Structure 1
Amino acid sequence: MSRERTVEELDAVIEQTLRDSELVHEHPAPGKWLVDLPGTKKLKTVCGLIVGEHALRVEAFVCRQPDENREQLWTYLLQHNARTYGVAYSIDRVGDVYLTGRLPHAAVTPEELDRLLGAVLSYADDHFNTMLEIGFGTSIRREWEWREKRGESLRNLEAFAGFVEADRRARRAADPDGGA
């Protein structure tokens, strides 16, 4: 089977699956797709589907390199890799976090694409806030305090209220006199 025909056939399967799933997507070139996966914690995960010579490559950016606790975050992600389906957490050369995987051409069916995209969405969305707490906790706490002092909205930080409050309780427990 020629490569052109493989790309054409796989593009048809991918296009129909994305339409049936009503997912926003782009098709910038033969064998290349960008799919918007709507989440709740991570509002949108853009997933790339790239038809290669022997497999469909799946890539989705999850978060930028952590500011702190890199090893703790990477340990957390590696532990989750043992339970993932079709994709695994990975990092690029600068430390940004991705979900990546490969699906053999023969396995590219609407059902399998749906399952794989669902896995990407679940893994990017379900663990997103925990990844941010581990890798950006200091920044989150600083931003929360800055907004509180200025009377600014905390609306887009509400997901971290428990994280910030737990940190405050821990600081109070460590210093019951409040530094006096």
Structure 2
Amino acid sequence: MSEGIGEARTARAVVVAALDAVIDRTLRDAELVHEHPAPGRWLVDLPGTKKLKTVCGLIVGEHALRVEAFVCRQPDENREQLWTYLLQHNARMYGVAYSVDRVGDVYLTGRVPHAAVTPEELDRLLGAVLNYADDHFNTMLEIGFGTSIRREWDWRVKRGESLRNLEAFAAFAQAGRTEPADGGGAPPPESGG
């Protein structure tokens, strides 16, 4: 009995080593920042434009390579609207799908059979993860965190603070407002004492 267990462990170690070699070569060729904390486990940084970085985990499982990437934390509001938005996109996505964990945080997850793990397929999958996390990120934030975004926008405008990292939400934050976003012009001059 223990001989069979040993053979199974050896066979698994061979599979993990072979897939690790493919993953390592693919990530190095793509010049992606990555970590390899243990055999069969990888963390890859995917640089985006809207979501500046998506960390994607690649985990060699018993029969498939698991792909997991955190997209955003659980929404503060409009959960059902956000879930509907994500589910409508799932039908058109390649290799991964949106999912939520027990607390409602949003992930991209997928599985690829060992035999399908090639440099070309890994590149395609990582591109899909980056595309889906990045392209829909601002819309997900507007749906799930709209009140917070508008509140932060208003607070910064009132105090003359920089809106630089909120620029992507300018139209959203100002929708339905009748006054200019900058509060009606330049801030009043400071009074001398």
Which TM-score applies when normalising by structure 1?
0.93
Residue identity (%): 86
Distance of 2:14 and 2:55 partners within structure 1: 26
The match for 2:30 is 21
2:48 to 20, 39, 42: 39
Give the drift of 1:167.
3.7
1:149 aligned partner, one-letter code: K
Distance of 1:154 and 1:51 partners within structure 2: 42
| Runs of 4+ residues deviating >4 angstroms | none
The match for 1:139 is 148
Tell me the SS of whatever aligns to 1:2. Answer: helix
The match for 1:84 is 93
The match for 1:53 is 62
Residue 7 (structure 1) aligned with residue 19 (structure 2): no
Q: Which runs of 5+ in 2 are unaligned?
A: 1-9, 180-193
1:61 aligned partner, one-letter code: F
Within-5 A mapping of 1:73-152:
73-152=82-161
The match for 1:177 is none
**TM-align CA RMSD:** 1.1
Higher Cα radius of gyration: 2
Give the drift of 1:165.
2.0
Distance of 1:48 and 1:164 partners within structure 2: 33
Distance of 1:157 and 1:168 partners within structure 2: 17
2:115 aligned partner, one-letter code: A
Number of positions where the alignment pairs a residue of Structure 1 with one of Structure 2: 170
